[in-house]
Each structure stands twice: as structure tokens, then as C-alpha cells.
Amino acid sequence: MKRPTFLIAAALSLLWGAALTAVLYLADQIADLSFAPYILFDWVATILPGDVITKVIDTMVEVIERGDLGETSSTAKTIEHISGIGLFLGLATAAGIGLAALLRRRDRPAQGAWRYGPGLALGLIAAVPLILIAHDVLYAGDTVTAVAPEQANAAWLIAALAAWGAALNRTFARLQDLAPAADTSADAADADRRRFLVQVGGATAALTVVGAGLGRYLVYRDDQQYQERIKENRAAAEDMPDALPNADASVQPAPGTRPEYTPLEDHYRIDINSEPPIVNEDEWRLAFTGLVQNPVQMTLDELKNGYAPLDQYVTLACISNRIGGDLTSTTRWTGASLRDVLADVGLQPEATHLKITTADNRFFEIVDLELVDSDPRIMLCYAWDGIPLLHKHGFPLRIYIPDLYGMKQPKWITQIEVMDHYEDGFWVERSWDRVAQMRATSVVDVAAADRTFEQDGVTYVPVGGIAHAGARGISKVEVRVDEGEWREAQLREPLSDTTWVIWRYDWPFEAGDHTFAVRCYDGTGEMQIVENNPPKPSGATGIHRLRRNIA
Ligand SMILES: Nc1nc2c(c(=O)[nH]1)N[C@H]1C(S)=C(S)[C@@H](COP(=O)(O)O)O[C@H]1N2
Ligand SMILES: [Mo]
């Protein structure tokens, strides 16, 4: 193809690709039909080798942190969404350019079936991998989530892609009709072509704007309704504590330290899919299978009412969190002790491990039964912050295992299979740590130069932050300013044995540029690892430092 011809074909392909994307997006919002760009992205992410994914995630987190692009986990989701749409648009444009080249090679005006046939065929062929990918990403396991029935989804993908291909084909055919013939003046032909291109541009732009705009509006409306429901749930919650358990703690956080109890809407979020599965509570059952005495299926109410609710303040952290990163949060978890539930289900003597599978189909983890036996705090959790789990945080059920990183703790649980052997879980298969015990880490949140205070003629700068060592507790935190001595900080009584500890160090004011470093010791007295290690494979280690100009 000549240059201008190629550019026009590429532009038209991109326009029709955008229109297709917008229509698919709207259909997802109206009828829970799969949005091809996201499932394509999710699928690519799982077939890529673990190393590549880790590199990509690492780079993304670094860009977000360096560029100060906001809260890491939600920005990362946005980047995922944009990447998925970019990938899909790229493929659609490439396919369109291919179609244009094919039609031009015939070197004769497209007549009859050639006016739509090849494009229609292209659309039908392209629908096949998308249907298979949708099957893999959305329909492979027990489907208790809000997605359209699989056949309906497949029919929709076929129809939408066929229409897209045929429309593209017609556009190219019409453009050929308008190519200057020997007997017309080139100027008149040019004007016709231009008019046609404007028409196509207008039509595709209209589809794109209406589809994307209406789709966005529906997302917004759903979100408003969801927020309303959260408010109602919160108003109806019976067991809201009047005060946090450490309300009487004598050490106050340095002003500017992160909130000790993370507001629910700020809790970090990590999952393998572009969108969380929306589980339908009425269809959902927790199935116990494998080496059990009673292969029962429990409802959420049976779990809530059949067992004394356990309430635990928990700091969760992602193993991908960097030193000083924001992929860690604290809230109140409520659930049923897994040990008690398993006692009712009854285990066969050979049982050694549990395999927990989930509504996002591909995620699963293995839990050692010895661990469950030894720790009654391990629970099947159905509420956070006093209300049912939010969809993105695992509604209706997730597990809590003290001391382990989030990667070991499935959300959206659907089945617990009792086995007589160990297997690698989702992230362990991808070369992350088998045990994933949380590392001891500490962070300087603030050196509050604007909140100095005087005592006995000395001006102090409150310095503060958090320290956390899973369920092992924190026995000591030390702070070092510039090249000075390590000095012991004050520890605030934590919300529980498994949450982070807020520390505070009042530093005698000295003007200038200063670096504040922190290190902690866990409950057994062991100091955190001070060497720098990246998150992969076992969680980041190293000393966190904060540089501040104190004036
Ligand atoms: N089913 C499922 N469970 C999952 C995940 C997931 O992708 N799917 N991600 C895990 C990871 S890596 C972390 S850090 C925690 C995060 O929980 P949160 O998003 O509620 O903070 O969930 C864990 N449980
Ligand atoms: Mo994670």
C-alpha cells in the first residue's frame, strides 16, 4: 500500500476498533457481557512467565512511586485497564490494516459478497479466541458470579465482532468505489472521498462517545448504589465498637503518621483479575470436598450463625510491597475459626492439607492442616470493619492466616478441598516464597518539622511511623538521624498482637537537611533484615529512610 492509503486504512481501523471497544464496554455494564480488553489482558497476564509479570509489576510500581501517581494499588488497576484497552485496540487496528491490504490486493472494485464477506469472516475468526479466553478467565470454575450465561456471552461476541468486521469491510469497499476513475476529475473524486471519510469518522466517533459515555455513567450509578449499600450496612451493623481497643494508649502518634486504623475505602487491594468477581450470595455455597467425613455445602448464614464470631484487628501486607510502600493496611476482621468449622465437617485420617479455590477461577492456595490445628485465630472471614466484605476485598468469604503475606490468603473462597499432600499455590507456582511469612519492616512516615514543641528549653521534632512483624509483635524500634547513634523510639500500644505498631521519636531540633532512618526488632528480639532485598521472592527487606529539610 502507498503511504497515504496505509495511513487512511490504519486510521479507519483504529476508529472502528474504538467503536467496537466502546460498544463492548457498554454491553458489559448493561448485561454483564465480558469486556474483551480486560479478559484479554487477564489472560495474557497468566500465560506470561512469572518472571516477566514480576518485572512488569515491579516497573509499574516503581513508576507509580517515582512519579508520585497516587495510591499504588488503585493506580496499578487503572494502568492495567488502560493496557488492556490499548492491547485490544492495537490488535483490532492491525486486523483492520490486514483486511484493507487483502482487499487492495484483489485490485478490482469490491462487488457483491466482497463488500462485506472477508470482514465478516475476519470478525467470526477473531471471536473464537475471545470466546475461549472468556471461558478460561470467567467460566472455567463454578460460576457464582455476576456474568452473563456463557452461551449468551459467546453469541454476543460473535455478533459484535461480525458486525465490526463487516462494517470495516464496507468502509474499505466504499472507499475503493470513490477512488478517482479515468473519466472523472480528480478534484471531484477527492471531495467525495473526503466527505465519506468525515461521515465514517462521525459515525464511529458517535458510537465511541455514546458507548463509553453511557457505560461510564452506568459504572458511576452502580458505584453510587454500592456506596449507599455500604452506608446502610454500616448503619445496621450491631457490633461496632465505640472505641478502638488501644484508646487509652499513652503514646500518641507523631502528627502526620498514617492512620492506625485504615479507613475501609483506603485499604490497599491486589488481585489477579482486572475486575473483581461479583459473587451472588444466593447461589454461593462453601463446598467442603475431598478427604472429609461430611461433604457439606455451607451457606453464608450457616457460617455466620453457626460459630461464635471472632473479631481480630489485622494488618495485611502484600509480598510485593516495597520498603515504605503503601500495599499494607489495617482493619477489623470478623469470621469463624477454621478449626471449629473443620471439626464439624470432619476430616479423614490421611488429611494433611487444604486446597482453597476461589471465584476468580485461577487463584488458589494450599494451607497446612498442622498450622490450622495449632492456631485458632485462622478464620473464614466474612466481615471487614463490621460490615460484609466489599466485593473487591473478597465477598462473601476470605481466609485469615496470621503472620503470612496476602498472597497466601485467598479472597472469594468457593471450595475447600481436603487433601493428603502439599501442592504449590498460584504465586508459589510463579516462584514466590512457599511459606511467605511476613518480614519485619519499619517505616518513617513523618518528621513533623511544622509541629515542633518545647520541653525544658529544648525544641523537639516529632518523628514517627510504623513497624510490623506479622504476628510476632514488635519489641523495639530504633531511629538514627544522619550519621548519629541509633536511639530507641517510644512504642504505642498496638490494636492487637498482629497489627503494626506505631512508634514515635521526639528529636531535638537542628536546622538543615536531615535523613531519618528506622529499624525494628520483632517480639523475639530479632532485628529486621537491614540488607536491601527486592520483594521477590520472599518480601522486601532494608532500612527505610526519610530525607527532610528541617527549618
Ligand atoms: N482469589 C484471590 N485471592 C487473593 C488474591 C487474588 O488475586 N485472588 N490476591 C492475594 C494477594 S496477592 C493479596 S496481597 C491479598 C490482598 O487482599 P486485599 O485486596 O483485600 O487487600 O489478597 C490475596 N487473595
Ligand atoms: Mo499480594
> Per residue in 447-489, pLDDT tens?
999 999 999 999 999 999 999 999 999 999 999 999 999 999 9
What pairing do the DSSP bridges indicate for beta strands 453-455 and 458-468?
Answer: antiparallel
**Nearest ligand, CA 45:** 1
CB-ligand 1 contact for 544 (6 Å cutoff):
no
* pLDDT for position 3: 65
What average pLDDT does the structure give for the chain?
93
How far, in Å, are 1, 2, 10, 199, 286 from residue 7 at the CA level?
9, 9, 5, 17, 55
CB-ligand 1 contact for 391 (6 Å cutoff):
no
Is residue 126 scored above 90 in pLDDT? yes
Is residue 2 scored above 70 in pLDDT? no
**Nearest ligand, CA 356:** 1
**What's the rounded mean pLDDT across residues 264-292?**
93
The per-residue pLDDT for range 342-401, each reduced to its tens digit, is 999 999 999 999 999 999 878 999 999 999 999 999 999 999 999 999 999 999 999 999
Burial of 432 (0-12, 13-18, 19+ CB in 10 A): buried
Cβ neighbours, 10 Å, residue 174: 15
Range 84-91 contact pairs with CB under 8 angstroms and sequence separation of 24 or more: 84/37, 84/38, 84/40, 84/41, 84/42, 84/274, 85/21, 85/37, 87/37, 87/40, 87/41, 87/44, 88/17, 88/21, 88/36, 88/37, 88/40, 89/14, 89/17, 89/18, 89/21, 89/37, 91/40
DSSP 62-107: HHHHHTT-S-HHHHHHHHHHHHHHHHHHHHHHHHHHHHHHHHHHT-
How remote is the CA of residue 321 from the centroid of ligand 1, in Å?
13
C-alpha cell at position 237: 451493623
Give the number of the atom of ligand 1 that is nearest the alpha carbon of residue 364: 1
Residue nearest to atom 5 of ligand 1 (CA): 271
Instruction: Select the more confidently predicted residue: 54 or 103.
Output: 103
How remote is the CA of residue 434 from the centroid of ligand 2, in Å?
13
Residue from 145, 361, 397, 411 whose mutation best tests the ligand 1 pocket (most atoms within 8 A of CB):
411
Work out the pLDDT band at 16, boundaries 50, 70, 90: very high
Q: Per the confidence metrics, is the pTM higher than 0.85?
A: yes
Residue nearest to atom 22 of ligand 1 (CA): 406
Is residue 433 scored above 70 in pLDDT? yes
How far, in Å, are 237, 375, 443 from residue 382 at the CA level?
13, 19, 30
Work out the pLDDT band at 58, boundaries 50, 70, 90: confident
C-alpha cell at position 331: 482493619
The per-residue pLDDT for range 139-165, each reduced to its tens digit, is 887 666 778 999 999 999 999 999 999
Tell me 170's DSSP state. Answer: H
Is residue 421 scored above 70 in pLDDT? yes
The three-class DSSP label of residue 160 is helix
CB-ligand 1 contact for 355 (6 Å cutoff):
no
* pLDDT for position 63: 84
Q: Residue 134 is inside which H or E element, if any? A: helix 117-134
Determine contact, residues 290/417, Cβ cutoff 8 Å. Answer: yes
Determine contact, residues 272/42, Cβ cutoff 8 Å. Answer: yes
Work out the pLDDT band at 65, boundaries 50, 70, 90: confident
Return the percentage of the chain with pLDDT > 70, whole number: 98
Determine contact, residues 33/148, Cβ cutoff 8 Å. Answer: yes
**What's the rounded mean pLDDT across residues 426-435?**
93
* pLDDT for position 142: 67
CB-ligand 1 contact for 385 (6 Å cutoff):
no
How remote is the CA of residue 392 from the centroid of ligand 1, in Å?
9
Is residue 181 scored above 80 in pLDDT? no
**Nearest ligand, CA 328:** 1
* pLDDT for position 178: 86
